[in-house]
Amino acid sequence: MFLQLFFGYCALMIVVSGLLAISLRNPVHCVLMVLVLFFHMAGLYLTLNAEFLAAVQIIVYAGAILVLYLFVLFLVSLREELHLTAFVPNAWLGRIIAAGLAVGLIATIPAFSLGEKSAWTVAAIREATHTKALGQELYTSYLLPFEIAGLILLVALIGGLVLARRDENGADAPESGADGKEVLR
């Protein structure tokens, strides 16, 4: 009973803060709403016996990624936001597409049936502790993906450095962009 109440609370907070995050005008408020959402996601992970992932969710998502977003928001001044053309011509069309997708996805849930169960029962995980169980799986069955994940992080690191680097010779970026265009022509 307590678990269901906790789930209901987390689900309510997730949906409300998610909706607020995509509808508030001020981008900083949006990021803070997503922060609330991530904390409640971590709560849901706890109900699923995934303690390690709950910790990672808070440390990496809330602690690192959202702070990165906030930094960039403050770097890119709030008055002049970066705007792109939206993918759909009308905002209501986008909302209708999303609502239709939600209805379609939820309608298919009753047809879903679980596959075969594996060896890591709750008791087995509890005996080995969750972090150890996940580590065993990561470093044996998923060793290659783990290495690739490391490589992706390296690429992201180098890419972030290159992208955010200032030009040394003081040439303004718009000019060099224009130059590039001239050369292409």
| Minimum CB distance to another protein, residue 168 (Å) | 14
Distance, in Å, from the CA atom of 147 to the CA atom of 153, rounded to the nearest integer, reads 10
Q: Which of 74, 94, 147, 179 binds another protein (CB under 8 A)?
A: 94
Considering only 9, 127, 129, 142, the residue that binds another protein (CB under 8 A) is: 142
Specify the amino acid at residue 3: L
Give every CB contact of residue 52 below 8 A, 6+ residues apart in sequence. Answer: 130, 131, 134
Report in angstroms how near the CB of residue 87 gets to another protein at its nearest: 6
Local structure of 48: helix, strand or coil: coil
- Out of 9, 76, 126, 129, point to the residue binding another protein (CB under 8 A): 76
Please say which residue, 127 or 152, places its beta carbon nearer to another protein.
152
Is 163 a binder of another protein (CB under 8 A)?
yes
Q: What is the 3-state secondary structure (H, E, C) of 140-174?
A: HCCHHHHHHHHHHHHHHHHHHHHHHCCCCCCCCHH
177 binds another protein (CB under 8 A): yes
Check binding of 111 to another protein (CB under 8 A): no
Question: How far apart are alpha carbons 127 and 8 in whole angstroms?
Answer: 29
Under 8 Å between Cβ of 36 and 17 = yes
CB of 136 to another protein, least distance (A): 8
Rounded least distance, CB 56 to another protein, Å: 6
Number of residues that bind another protein (CB under 8 A): 95
**Cα gap 185→181, rounded to integer Å:** 6
Task: Return the residues of window 16-75 that contact another protein according to CB under 8 A.
Answer: 18-19, 21-22, 27, 30-31, 34, 37-38, 41, 44-45, 47-50, 52-53, 56-57, 60-61, 64-65, 68-69, 72-73, 75
